Amino acid sequence: MVTTGQAHDSGVPAETEAKAQCGLESVEQAANAEPSSTDSMDSSVDLKATKATSSVPAEAEAKAQCGLESVEQAANAEPESKDSNDASADLKAKFAWTCRDCDRSCLPVRDESQCICGHRLREHRLKPLNQHISSEAMAPDQVADTQPSDKNPELQKLGSLPGNPSDSPSDSSSSSSPSRLSSCGLFQVVCGRAKCACESFFFIPAQGSWILRCRCKHKHVEHDPSSHRCTRPKCSCDKFDSPWVCNCNHPWAHHTQHTNVLTRQQILRQRMEDMASPAPEVNNVEALMRGLQA
């Protein structure tokens, strides 16, 4: 078999080599072929002149004749490259599920965490928002979460769940529409599975075979991922709500989902700092002294 480099060294034209690759004729036969008549010689001369004046390379035209690609595609073919304009290529969403009463992170949100749509977090992706959503239509805690962090201006918080802070249990028992989670025109964490209407990741606590259920006693997958209404017939549940009480002794409705969009460099830097710094308990001198006295 004659390689491309050998074909060019032996003086075989690129068109002949392309035809040989298509199985029309071998490289040696194409190079040693002679015209059978004067008419064929004249036609070949005219064909060469036409190809010389054409802007399409001979190799590309020969490949197009063999059915590999069209002449325009072969002439305009360019090597594939990564889209540098994709703003979400180097970004990653990081979630935290915290309690508003005790101000701590209760449950970790990992790639295997469940969404209300029934898919995992790893099956979701960042999607740029095309429309600017007014902050007047959002809850107070959601408006605060969309502002950049004072400690890190590059860190943007997109939204909070499950509910709005209120003294009324009915007002704070469930989430607002997922489409209202962002007002900065940044990103949404949408589900990447086909035919899934999930517009934003909605964390559902689960542990082992146990998974959070709604107050209507229906599963989270039996609720609409966009409006969070129950889809079971004759069910009056208008939004997902759970009476479950967390290990912090506060109900599910008092917890908030924070979504932070970080670059991969920022995430790696945070991990390196966590590994280099001592445990928080070591710096808590008062707790250590109480432990020694006890």
For the segment 106-147, what is each residue's pLDDT rounded down to a tens digit? 888 988 999 999 999 999 988 876 543 333 333 333 333 433
Name the pLDDT band for 103 (thresholds 50, 70, 90): confident
Show me where the domains of the chain are located: 4-75, 91-283
Percent of the chain clearing pLDDT 90 (strictly above): 18
Q: What is the mean pLDDT of residues 190-198?
A: 89
The sign of the CA dihedral 150, 156, 162, 167 is positive
Q: Is the pLDDT reported for residue 223 higher than 70?
A: yes
Higher pLDDT, 177 or 113: 113
Exposure pattern of 125-144 as b/e (b: 16+ CB <10 Å)?
ebeebeeebebeebbebbee
Predicted TM-score of the model (pTM): 0.48
Q: Which two tokens stand for residue 5?
A: 């480099």
Q: Which two tokens stand for residue 245?
A: 């009480």
Cα gap 237→226, rounded to integer Å: 14
Nearest to 158 by CA among 99, 200, 195: 200
Using the structure block, give the residue that is written with the tokens 């506060």: 250
Dihedral pair phi/psi, residue 127, rounded to 5°: -130, 125
Indicate the Cα dihedral angle 139, 141, 142, 147, nearest 10°: 130
Name the pLDDT band for 88 (thresholds 50, 70, 90): low
Range with the poorest average pLDDT among 34-38, 87-91, 230-234: 34-38
CB 228 within 8 A of CB 202: yes
- Per-residue pLDDT, 214: 94
